[in-house]
Amino acid sequence: MKVLALGDIAGKAGRLAIENDLPLLKEKYNLDCVIVNADNAAHGFGMSDRIAGELFDCGVDIISTGDHYTDRDTLKVADKYPNVVRPANLPKVKEGRGHVVLNTGKEKILFISVMGRLYMDDPRREPSNPYHEVRKILDEYKDIKIKIVEIHAEATSEKVGMGHYLKGEVSAVFGSHTHVQTSDLKILEGGTGYITDLGMCGDQNSMLGAKTESALPRLLESAESRRLEPAEGVGTVSGVIFDIDPKTGKCTDVILVN
């Protein structure tokens, strides 16, 4: 079973990159499942119903979100589509769901999304402990062999910690949110595929997907009131492919995509 996980979509450039590249990746690797984070898909903030539909039409199987779950129509979209997953550790949020079981036609895949807590200090977000939430969901689905967990977090420590917490129990753990792909892809003890951050789908010649002219002044002048604008250059996709043994649920290879 080959599962492609792609990092945060940064605006239209990222959406176009997926539209252009996903068919080629599906043909090259014979993919069984495609997971994409769309937390910044709608002009950099959240996503819309239209965007979700376009991604599904492109061949995406599961769409995850993150800390921008309150932006645009993200929660409405999560409520509408069973395969749109918002962070599971949001006890005050009633819309949507934090996990999904996807039937690929070959095997079932349990996908869980959680959000980190370190440096995610916007008052709108009140996530509970992501480790405890993952454990609770895993306990409900002990019969499913292929289990994949995303942790959308700022701090690398929370992502690395999740990998070690779940090694040998799940097929793969990957991080998202920072828009910078890390080079630490590996298979952890017990057969758990891992990478700290998938990176982003978007204009790589930018500041994390934003136009340099809108982002740089925020660092030079502390001009936080200046709104970030998504970069509009040619986008590329970024992520990894987990090759998973369907009989054991163990990851046998992790392939870089960028």
Which residues are known catalytic residues? 68
Tokens of 160: 């690395």
Please state, in angstroms and rounded to a whole number, the distance separating the CA atoms of residues 182 and 168: 22
Q: Which of 27, 251, 31, 28 is nearest to 6 (CA)?
A: 31
Distance of CA 239 to the CA centre of its chain: 9
Let me know: does 207 contact 187? Beta carbons within 8 Å: no
CB-facing half-sphere around the CA of 204: CA atoms within 13 A: 12
Which secondary structure element, helix H or strand E, spans residue 17, and what is its range?
Answer: helix 11-29
| Contact status, residue 61 vs residue 35, Cβ threshold 8 Å | yes
Nearest to 153 by CA among 67, 228, 64, 46: 67
Three-state DSSP at 136 gives helix
Give burial (CB, 10 Å; 0-12/13-18/19+) of 9. Answer: buried
DSSP state of 168: T
Contact 248, 191 (CB under 8 A): yes
If one counts every other C-beta atom within 10 angstroms of the C-beta of residue 139, the result is 8
Structure tokens at 16: 């176009």
